[in-house]
Amino acid sequence: MARVLVVGSGLAGLIAAVRATDAGHRVTLVTKAALSDSNTRYAQGGIAAALFPDDSVDAHILDTLRAGAGLCDPAAVQVLCEEGPARVRDLIRFGVDFDRDESGITRGLEAAHSRSRVLHAGGDATGAAIETALVATVQERANRAHALGGDQISIHEHTMLVDLVVERGRVTGASLLSADGTTHTVTADAVILATGGAGALYTHTTNPAIATGDGVAAAWRAGATVADVEFYQFHPTALAVPGTPLVSEAVRGEGAVLLSSAGDRFMTAIHPDAELAPRDIVARSIAAQMKAQGGAPVLLDATGLGRELLESRFPTITAACRAAGLDWAVEPIPVAPAAHYWMGGVATDIWGRTSLPGLYAVGEVARTGAHGANRLASNSLLEAAVFADRAVRALGEPEQLPPLFENAEADYSCATDLDIDEEIVAERIIVDGGRVDRAALQQLLWEAAGVHRSGADLTRAAATLAGWTAADRGDATVAELETGNLLDLGRLIVAAALAREESRGAHHRADFPQSRAELAQPHFSRRQAWSARTLVPAGSPVSSQSAPSQPSEAIAC
Write out the catalytic residue numbers.
279
The single-letter code of the amino acid at 206 is: T
C-alpha–C-alpha distance, residues 539 and 112, integer Å: 24
Within 70-159, strands assigned E span: 100-101, 104-105, 107-108, 118-119, 153-156
Q: How many CB atoms lie within 10 A of CB 300?
A: 25
C-alpha–C-alpha distance, residues 298 and 332, integer Å: 9
The single-letter code of the amino acid at 76 is: A
- 499 Cβ contact list (under 8 Å, min separation 6): 230, 412, 414, 523
Q: How many CB atoms lie within 10 A of CB 271?
A: 14
**460: phi then psi, degrees, rounded to nearest 5:** -65, -40
Closest by Cα among 276, 321, 313 to 44: 313
* Torsion angle defined by CA atoms of residues 257, 258, 261 and 267, in that order, rounded to the nearest 10 degrees: -120
Angle at 184 between CA 182 and CA 188, to 5 degrees: 155
Within 148-272, strands assigned E span: 153-156, 160-167, 170-177, 183-187, 190-193, 226-227, 232-239, 257-259
Q: HSE of 324 in the Cβ direction (CA atoms, 13 Å)?
A: 20
End-to-end CA distance of the chain: 22
Within 306-344, strands assigned E span: 333-342
Cα-based distances in Å from 98 to 75, 104, 531:
29, 10, 46
C-alpha–C-alpha distance, residues 155 and 462, integer Å: 39
For residue 469, the surrounding DSSP H or E stretch is strand 468-469
Would you list the DSSP string of 369-423?
Answer: SSSTTSPPTT-HHHHHHHHHHHHHHHHTS-SSPPGGGTT---S----SS----HH
- By residue count, the chain amounts to 557
Q: HSE of 33 in the Cβ direction (CA atoms, 13 Å)?
A: 16
For residue 525, the surrounding DSSP H or E stretch is strand 524-525
